[in-house]
């Protein structure tokens, strides 16, 4: 008698897993992200700045093609006499177009990220000046996921982001609004 509920549960789980025929089907998971590394040299003043940007993402497909995502962003910039470290976290959504079992899945995505950062710079009088900031950012992207194997893809996208930063400094609050646009490349693993 006790084996019947266990058998029914196993049968329901097996049929649910069997129903997922595509990486973007309802119930599938998305694990992915992108990374960027840059070195920029200002030739006029002979100063080099290094940038590292990591953007992991975890998503769950609530409907075929639509994944709700949790996003994290870590950014680090450093150069002669300064460093900037920032973290951002927030929700997002990505919609993949097309039918099941495709090689290329075009997509659109949006994110809302909240974050904090630490900025440190050398003081002309010696020592270090440290400020902390808070950031709100939204990001829109459009691109494609090219399936390399059954459940893994390389992604490429064009993106636009707008951020509002507020930092507390000795003279009061410093506020800045930035716009960023560019190309990002990453990976996506679909668990289904």
Strand stretches in the chain, DSSP E:
29-42, 47-63, 66-79, 82-96, 104-122, 128-149, 152-169, 172-191
Give yes or no for a contact between 147 and 164, defined as CB atoms under 8 angstroms apart: no
If we measure between CA atoms, which residue out of 76, 169, 86, 172 comes closest to residue 129? 169
Mean pLDDT of 22-31: 95
Quick: pLDDT tens for 113-130.
Answer: 999 999 888 877 777 888
Q: With 70 as the cut, is the pLDDT of residue 168 above it? A: yes
Distance CA 79, CA 69 (A): 33
Higher pLDDT, 23 or 128: 23
pLDDT for position 119:
86
Using the structure block, give the residue that is written with the tokens 């949790």.
Answer: 70
CA–CA gap between residue 131 and residue 176 (Å, rounded): 14
Q: State yes or no: pLDDT of 6 exceeds 60.
A: no
- 27 in helix, strand or coil? coil
What pairing do the DSSP bridges indicate for beta strands 152-169 and 128-149?
A: antiparallel
- Highest-pLDDT range among 8-17, 143-152, 163-172: 143-152
Contact assessment for residue 133 and residue 116, using Cβ atoms and an 8 Å cutoff: yes
pLDDT digits (tens, 9 = 90+) for 44-97: 888 898 999 999 999 999 999 999 999 999 999 999 888 999 999 999 999 999
- Enter the pTM of the model: 0.80
The domains found in the chain, sorted by start residue, are: 3-191 (2.40.160.20)
**How many of the other CB atoms lie within 10 Å of CB of 166?**
13
């Amino acid at each position: 008698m006790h084996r019947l509920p266990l058998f029914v549960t196993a049968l329901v789980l097996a049929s649910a897993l069997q129903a997922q025929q595509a990486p973007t089907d309802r119930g599938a998971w998305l694990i992915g992200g992108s990374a960027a590394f840059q070195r920029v040299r200002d030739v006029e003043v002979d100063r080099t700045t290094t940038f590292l940007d990591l953007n992991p993402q975890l998503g769950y497909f609530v409907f075929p093609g639509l994944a709700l995502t949790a996003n994290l962003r870590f950014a680090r910039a450093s150069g002669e006499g300064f460093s900037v470290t920032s973290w951002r976290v927030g929700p997002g959504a990505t919609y993949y177009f097309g039918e099941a079992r495709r090689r290329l899945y075009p997509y659109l995505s949006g994110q809302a990220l909240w974050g904090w950062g630490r900025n440190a710079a050398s003081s002309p009088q010696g020592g270090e000046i440290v400020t902390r900031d808070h950031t709100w950012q939204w990001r829109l992207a459009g691109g494609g996921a090219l399936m390399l194997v059954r459940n893994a893809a390389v992604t490429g996208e064009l993106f636009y982001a707008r951020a509002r930063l507020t930092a507390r400094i000795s003279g009061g609050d410093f506020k800045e609004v930035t716009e960023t646009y560019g190309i990002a490349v990453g990976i996506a693993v679909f668990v289904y």
